[in-house]
Amino acid sequence: MSAPAVPMQAHPPTSTGLDHRKVAIWAFIGSECMLFVSLISTYLIYKGRSVTGPFPHEWWCSSTKAMGFCAGESATHVVNSMRPILNIPVTSASTFVLLMSSLTMVLALAAVENRGKPGYAGRLLGNAGFWILATAILGATFLGFQAYEFTSFVHEGLTIRKNLFGSSFFTLTGFHGAHVSAGVLWLMTLYFIDKKRGLGPKDSLLVDICALYWHFVDVVWIAIFTLVYLIK
């Protein structure tokens, strides 16, 4: 008995008419929304409740254990002054990098979907590997900024155990950084697949799912940047 002919299709028909993998990634993103909102809520609830510095936006005198700059009292006090810990110029640059990575990600998806078509074939716009690698490099750059930020915070006396601000800040941004790291690994996997056999229109769903995850990581950072870094 011969098996019935199965039409060449990316995925068998489903009751919704939608590919389960795409439904799954959207459900996953929905659940991740709730995870990150819980972390952001924790940060906001603890905001301003730390009894010891350093603080995100305010000077703190470690000598008198009081908020504010300790200049004008003694040389020791000046030395013990702790400046506001958040470095807005550095974080703004990393935010820009992550926003640009979203642009390169959509270009990667467009390149995969339109591979070999007129206007794409033989052009940079149609080079999926280039755009995927560019996205991964931008993601890694963002992680570099975050590593620099975390290191400088520790040098300035802010650790995860120092105060409520440190605990909630490192937990929130650390979780986000872990998601970015996972995204970079995912992108590198796609890059090597592209190098090995070339990603084409039949693989567009694979890239689309990765792109959705990557953009989600970007939108989470958009919220964190405003709520944690800019709002005093």
Partner 1 sequence: MAHDHHSGGHADTVEGHAMGEVHEHPTWRQYKWVALILTLITVVEVWAYYVPRFVASPAFVPVLLVMSAAKFAIVVAFYMHLKYDHKLFRALFVGPLIIAGGTLTALMFLFHKFVK
Q: Please, which residue, 14 or 152, has the CB nearer to partner 1?
A: 14
Rounded to a whole number of angstroms, the CA Rg of the chain reads 23
Interface size with partner 1, residues (CB under 8 A)? 67
Binding mask 152-191 for partner 1 (x = CB under 8 A): ----------------------------------------
DSSP class of residue 226?
Answer: I
Q: Token pair for residue 45?
A: 């609830």
| Ranges within 190-229 binding partner 1 (CB under 8 A) | 200-205, 208, 211-212, 215-216, 218-219, 222-223, 225-227
Half-sphere exposure of 98 (CA within 13 A, CB side): 29
Q: What Cα–Cα distance (Å) separates residue 130 from each residue in 12, 20, 156?
A: 32, 29, 39
Here the contacts of 8-17 (C-beta below 8 Å, separation 24 or greater) are 10/202, 10/205, 11/205
Q: Which residues in this chain contact partner 1 in the complex, by CB under 8 A?
A: 9-11, 13-14, 16-19, 21-23, 26-27, 29-31, 33-34, 36-38, 40-41, 44-45, 88, 92, 95-96, 99-100, 102-103, 105-107, 109-110, 113-114, 117-120, 125, 200-205, 208, 211-212, 215-216, 218-219, 222-223, 225-227, 230-232
